[in-house]
Structure 1
Amino acid sequence: MKEVRLTDLDELALKVRDRTARSYILEAIDAYRGGAYRSAIVSTWIAVTFDVISKIRELSNQGDPMAQDFINKLDQAIAAKQIRQLQNIEEDLLKTATIDFEFLSDQEQVDITRLKDDRNLCAHPAFVSEEMLFEPEPERVRMHIVHVVKHLLQHQPVQGKSAIARIVRDIKTTSFPPTLDAACIFLNSRYFDRAKRSLTENLLFLLLKAILRGDVPDLPLTYARQILLTLQAISNRHPDIYEERMKAKLLTIIESLDEGCLPNVFRLLGADPRCWNWLDESAKIHLKEVTQVSLNKPSIRNSVFEAILVNDLKPIIIEGFNELSSEIQISVIKATPQPEFATQAIALYSKASDYRGAERLGESLIFPMANCFSVANIQDILRVVEKNSQIYDATGTPAILEELFEKNKQYLPDLRESWKSLFVFLHSQYSWLYNKSEDSEVLKETGWENLANRLKAAGVNLSPE
């Protein structure tokens, strides 16, 4: 049974974005606690009017034409002291906030309209008969304060369709963060930390349609990476909403897809393997069949490999991968690096038969897989380098291993001896040079200087015993 508790008013006040609006709502809370309920309602309504106008000013400063038009009319009315015009603006303020700027949903407007009606009864007692003097109950006052903060004061000025339009624009910018951690920080601070549930739900549905159907004109599949990062950011910030809506919408959308769109499902499964658990058995059986067939289709093969983290699909995908030619395996690993490909990537790398081939294999297999290797994998790679002169003598190999080191510094305590062993080996191979030059000159001449310096800086002793 879900536990329901009263909202803590002090905690609620801390969520108000604007400092001035927060002072008004704190004044309302103080009046409520002191039993001055009519004063509390009036102060709460003042917080509403200030916050709505403040939000519109914020949008005006950002160049919103509708907001600029509203602010121009307001400022002109204030400068000319046109009281009737200002009263009309206040009278229509909730409609403006709901219809023009989408600060409020229809139901939220109803809630705050109740506050407005009560405020009129409090501020204009002469408008009712003496017997009908309005005396609000404390529960009603508390309800108004909670509604105002939750519906309006804690949120950014952009919600609704305009917020979604701005998020879509950000997704399509070249500066959109390339990693999940960075995308979460960016999207949370700009949108998700104070997003209304309706905004989160509507955005989630739009992104699902974009990644699965590929029929959202403003978000073509060329932005698939950014779309998936945004979905993951929603999952991290609002997990309850994400799971609830995914369970409700995902299967329906997938069942409506034509065959040409089914590969898009694997992209989503690769980003969030939990999605597999939200499908029914018939959908799972169908996707297993699609997996087997698609592994032999170059145009969609890489999308399928992204779903290797789904346990039910992993055996099918690995079996299909093992049946591919070496060249195709290399292209798959380069496009969709996965820990499950580590052993084969190392085996393919070990077969380098010339310097340029070693560099090509290193760039296609070791570079993209750098974050996927375990300690044992890296030890195997270093042994492969020692055993193949076409690899360790290749000009590009030191840079490849430098990238491997940088991406796996967390493993250094377990790899210290392996890195040292590599340089002891290199020392033996280049011993004829050491007889003529200083150690640093040999490392520089053979291209290993940068990696050696990084290892030394990390505390690895590279000197042979």
Structure 2
Amino acid sequence: MTETLADIEALSLKCRSEQSKEYIAEALHCYKASAYRAAIVTTWIALVFDLIDKIRELSLSGDANAKALETKYESYIAQIEQGNLQGIKAALEFEREILETCRDQLQFFDPQQFIDLQRLREDRHRCAHPSFQQVGVPYTPSAEHARLHLRNVIVHVLSQPPVQGKAALAELKTMVASSYFPSDSARALLQLRSSSLNAPLEPLVRGFVDTLVFGFLTNGDVLFYKQQVLAALNAALSMHPAIVEQRLEKQLNKAIRDVPDATFSGAACLASRIDNAWALLDQASREKIRAFVENGPQGEVLAGLKTLAAIAELNDVVRARILELDLDDLANAIEPLGVGELARGRALQLLQEVGSWDRANAVFSKAVLPLFDHLDRQDIERIVRMPTEHGSDLPGANGYRLFLNKVRGSQLIPDVELDQLLRDHGAGYLLPQDEDA
């Protein structure tokens, strides 16, 4: 134990509700007065009251387990008010089992936290029940012992929201599904750090991963194909890497194996856009994604080409798929989908094959000019040589003139060298001095 009394008092300020602060204040007063038995008993009372408050709060939010527990507890209180001794017996039993109840039905505690709180219950019995001790030898806890219980109750329970079970998972799902949850991983991380995922039990993290993965792939789910899911998974991975990686390895491989073809593009999206996900896939899953890139529906494959190409093992099949695209599909991949440099080879190939000015203008406007920033000197020289080396019908096309104007403005090739290249390949009429004449 390293906390001083001042540390514990400061820690008590983290109690999430005013009631919790009031509950623990009496225990702190007992501790200050060196009444350590009283401090431990009062700490237990604070714990029980806070757990009952959390059950009621969860019940209001719709948690079925919490609602059943609240109904049961309220029935005991009603019996006590009516003078029914059975109600007193049942209420005492409810208190004796409250730790197990909150652990098993509401997942409030992890195993280590449960042990800490169980020790408090045992010490509370030793402090509160003289019959548990030898006659004339009361239990005498130390200051450190009492302070440890105070600390554990505040950290494990009083400072925590009542959302460690199904209610927490439902709350997180609602958060991610919201239109206002960010699709950027860094901003998603800020949101999740202010949620129950910041200090969760391991089952909550696993459940969160499961909810996001299968919600993303289930048509009709509020998370279906939502970009926020990808940001949330990457944020969770940075917060709890060991747990999330282990769960993703299991669930991604299961999803890729079992998901129907109609939504397989979603599984490929998860594999390519979750950090380090490819490394978590088994060989069968990798081969299935590779087959999807090779043979999947055009629109679905195009949507994921950019991120799929970033996976080294898929780069060759992505480039091969791009070489099969027609001009319109290529244009869609370049502009809305940001394929960029990957489309360069296909764009030049289509340009090389043009047989009319109209076709040349279309290829220049839809593919070559949008990719201009990805072209180098060798690409430009190749284009200028196309009319003589491949019979490409470029001279006379307005798109060719626009392209050459961009080349001059870019200074990728000195004007003198460009002029000579144009003369050598049937486009001398496009030289500035010839145009002026």
Kindly indicate whether the alpha-carbon contact (under 8 Å) linking 2:323 and 2:346 is maintained by their aligned counterparts in 1.
no
Match of 2:121 in 1: 116
Kindly indicate whether the alpha-carbon contact (under 8 Å) linking 1:302 and 1:335 is maintained by their aligned counterparts in 2.
no
Aligned to 1:312, the other structure's residue is in SS state helix
Match of 2:269 in 1: 267
Kindly indicate whether the alpha-carbon contact (under 8 Å) linking 1:45 and 1:115 is maintained by their aligned counterparts in 2.
yes
What is the correspondence of 1:45-56 to structure 2 with a 5 Å cutoff?
Answer: 45-56=44-55
AA at the equivalent of 2:310: L
- RMSD of aligned C-alpha atoms? 5.1
Query: 1:81 and 1:338 mapped to 2: Cα distance?
Result: 76
Q: For 1:215-255, what per-residue CA distance to the aligned partner results, in whole angstroms no more than 9, with x for missing partners?
A: 6x8847734434323212312433443235435x3575367
AA at the equivalent of 2:327: S
Change (3 A) 1:257 1:333: farther
Aligned to 2:163, the other structure's residue is in SS state coil
Match of 1:384 in 2: none
Aligned to 2:50, the other structure's residue is in SS state helix
Query: 1:29 and 1:315 mapped to 2: Cα distance?
Result: 67
Query: 1:159 and 1:313 mapped to 2: Cα distance?
Result: 40
Kindly indicate whether the alpha-carbon contact (under 8 Å) linking 2:23 and 2:46 is maintained by their aligned counterparts in 1.
yes
Q: Give aligned pairs, total.
A: 362
Q: Sequence identity of aligned pairs in percent?
A: 26
AA at the equivalent of 1:275: A
Q: In structure 2, which of residues 201, 204, 216 is the aligned counterpart of residue 199 of structure 1?
A: 204
Match of 2:42 in 1: 43
Change (3 A) 1:81 1:102: farther
Query: 1:26 and 1:343 mapped to 2: Cα distance?
Result: 70
Q: TM-score, normalised by structure 2?
A: 0.62
What is the correspondence of 1:52-63 to structure 2 with a 5 Å cutoff?
Answer: 52-62=51-61
Match of 1:152 in 2: 157
Change (3 A) 1:179 1:279: closer
Change (3 A) 1:160 1:318: same
AA at the equivalent of 1:202: G
Query: 1:7 and 1:278 mapped to 2: Cα distance?
Result: 42
Query: 2:35 and 2:220 mapped to 1: Cα distance?
Result: 52
Match of 2:95 in 1: 90
Kindly indicate whether the alpha-carbon contact (under 8 Å) linking 2:109 and 2:201 is maintained by their aligned counterparts in 1.
no
Change (3 A) 1:221 1:313: farther
Kindly indicate whether the alpha-carbon contact (under 8 Å) linking 1:308 and 1:317 is maintained by their aligned counterparts in 2.
yes
Match of 2:313 in 1: 312
Query: 1:142 and 1:218 mapped to 2: Cα distance?
Result: 51
What is the correspondence of 1:403-418 to structure 2 with a 5 Å cutoff?
Answer: none
Structure 1: 5+ residue runs without aligned partners? 348-352, 377-386, 392-417, 419-465
Greater C-alpha Rg: 2
Change (3 A) 1:62 1:221: closer
Match of 1:336 in 2: 337
AA at the equivalent of 1:56: I
1:315 Cα shift?
4.4
Change (3 A) 1:272 1:258: closer
Match of 2:231 in 1: 229
Once the two structures are overlaid, the 10-residue window that deviates more, 67-76 or 37-46, is 67-76
Q: For 1:40-92, what per-residue CA distance to the aligned partner results, in whole angstroms no more than 9, with x for missing partners?
A: 42233133123212323433554657176468558757987989376455344
Structure 2: 5+ residue runs without aligned partners? 349-357, 377-397, 403-409, 411-437
Kindly indicate whether the alpha-carbon contact (under 8 Å) linking 1:168 and 1:219 is maintained by their aligned counterparts in 2.
no
Kindly indicate whether the alpha-carbon contact (under 8 Å) linking 1:98 and 1:109 is maintained by their aligned counterparts in 2.
yes
What is the correspondence of 1:248-287 to structure 2 with a 5 Å cutoff?
Answer: 249=250, 252-253=253-254, 256-257=257-258, 260=261, 263-279=265-281, 282-283=283-284, 286=287
Q: In structure 2, which of residues 164, 173, 181 is the aligned counterpart of residue 168 of structure 1?
A: 173
Aligned to 1:54, the other structure's residue is in SS state helix
Query: 1:106 and 1:240 mapped to 2: Cα distance?
Result: 18
Kindly indicate whether the alpha-carbon contact (under 8 Å) linking 2:130 and 2:138 is maintained by their aligned counterparts in 1.
yes
1:272 Cα shift?
1.9
1:323 Cα shift?
3.6
